[in-house]
Amino acid sequence: MTMIHFRTGRDRIQRAATQLVLWHAVAAVRYPSWLLLLVPIVGVVELLGHWYFAAAAPRPPEWRLARPRVGELRKNGELVVIAPEWAEPLARSAFGEDIMPLSDLARPDSSAYRRAIEVSILGQRSSELERWRELDRSRFGRFELRLLENPHARPVRFSFVDHLEPGRVEVSEIGGGRATACAWTDRARTRTGGLAGSPAFPRERFNCAGGESQFVGVTVIDDQRYRPRRCIWANPRPEGQIRILYRRVPLGRTLRGYSGLPWMMTRDNQGPPIELRWAIDGQVIKSFSCHDGEGWKAFETAIAGPEGRIADVEFRVSAAAGASRQFCFYADLR
């Protein structure tokens, strides 16, 4: 849409300039000579229009031409970040899943990445990478490409989002004194909620009782800045809890993550809080509350004991009695 707007703007300026020149030619015969001043005015307008559109954002073909160069720089799975942020959809369309995978695009944050490639246009910089160290800089057409290194990278030992799978994970609903297993399927009906609707419902998920939205699976929600965030969808039912148990997990020094509710649907702050609680080998480590209006909210907990030991990790999600909520969380071990 932006590119169409730029082309339309250029066409309008040129068309207006032509019309003014023609109008001047006619007016010079009928009206006073001061109207001749319109000629330099039209020239200035056209020149300014040329400067403006010459500095406008690259068009889709230019993004596609830049793809091989960015691919050459991305040798070890570096994060690709676009500056300014609004140009990201253009880049993703041109670069594709190989260079900008969904796991990177909808990342929880950039703290786990050792290096990143910033693709900059119009002299812009990414605020997300402002404290990273520059290793290299080059130009390709109207693009500036910078290779950056994260001096405080914290690699992920285990991602709960990436390992939500049968065999390792057991999901159940707990209520009324009993637990009911949520069955795994890889053939569920997919659905997207559209504008202001629910996030996409994935094909692979643990289906629970209580309706189409009652499942545990990986999806993408919008945060308070309308950025995509990949997370585990786990709606607590009014009468119980969702229990997600991971077997034989290699522990790190910290368990960290984010909780969130789809921003478009919960920004009015009308729902009761949601509680996320986690335990290691049955011992509760911490409880965390998520409220409407908080957006993508971080949490972190230190883990006692030797790093690398194997244990079961359990998450429980619940809400106030009588409340049906939409909830998503990301968690990893570092």
For residue 206, what is the domain's CATH number?
Answer: 2.60.120.510
Selection from 44, 41, 64, 60 nearest residue 52 by Cα: 44
Question: What is the pLDDT at residue 30?
Answer: 58
Question: What is the pLDDT at residue 6?
Answer: 38
Quote the tokens at residue 311.
Answer: 């244990």
- When pLDDT is averaged across residues 257-280 and rounded to a whole number, the result is 88
Q: Do residues 18 and 128 both lie within one domain? A: no
Q: Do residues 218 and 325 both lie within one domain? A: yes
- When pLDDT is averaged across residues 273-298 and rounded to a whole number, the result is 93
How far is C-alpha 257 from the geometric centre of its chain's CA atoms?
15
Q: Do residues 171 and 286 both lie within one domain? A: yes
Of 126, 149, 172, the one marking the end of a domain is 149
Quote the tokens at residue 7.
Answer: 């082309």
Of 114, 129, 149, the one marking the end of a domain is 149
Q: Do residues 254 and 202 both lie within one domain? A: yes
Question: What is the pLDDT at residue 7?
Answer: 42
- Cα-based distances in Å from 170 to 83, 119, 243: 41, 41, 8
Q: Do residues 102 and 206 both lie within one domain? A: no
Summarize pLDDT for 2-42 with one digit per residue, the tens: 333 434 445 555 565 565 555 555 555 555 555 556 556 65
- Cα-based distances in Å from 321 to 66, 160, 181, 196, 294: 54, 27, 21, 25, 21
Question: φ and ψ at 95, to 5 degrees?
Answer: -85, -35
Q: Do residues 162 and 297 both lie within one domain? A: yes
Question: What is the pLDDT at residue 228?
Answer: 96
- Residue ranges with strand state E in the chain: 79-83, 115-120, 133-140, 143-149, 158-159, 169-175, 178-181, 183-185, 205-207, 215-222, 228-234, 241-250, 254-260, 274-280, 283-290, 297-302, 310-319, 328-333
Of 92, 119, 149, the one marking the end of a domain is 149
DSSP 86: G
- For the entire predicted model, the pTM comes to 0.82
Q: Do residues 187 and 329 both lie within one domain? A: yes
Q: Do residues 322 and 185 both lie within one domain? A: yes
Is the pLDDT confidence value at 49 over 70?
A: no
Count of CB atoms situated within 10 Å of the CB of 70:
21
Summarize pLDDT for 152-187 with one digit per residue, the tens: 999 999 999 999 999 999 999 998 889 999 999 999
Is the pLDDT confidence value at 88 over 80?
A: yes
> Rounded distance, CA 291 to CA 223, Å?
13
* Domain interval for residue 6: 2-54
> What's the angle, vertex CA 2, arms to CA 138 and CA 118, rounded to 5?
25
Helix (H, G, I), strand (E, B) or coil at 270: coil
Q: Do residues 209 and 289 both lie within one domain? A: yes
- When pLDDT is averaged across residues 282-298 and rounded to a whole number, the result is 92
Q: Do residues 198 and 103 both lie within one domain? A: no
Residue 182 has, within 13 A of its CA and on its CB side, a CA count of 32
Q: Which is more confidently placed, 138 or 193?
A: 138
Q: Do residues 313 and 164 both lie within one domain? A: yes
Domains in the chain, number: 3
- When pLDDT is averaged across residues 176-203 and rounded to a whole number, the result is 90
Amino acid in position 279 = A
Q: Do residues 223 and 297 both lie within one domain? A: yes
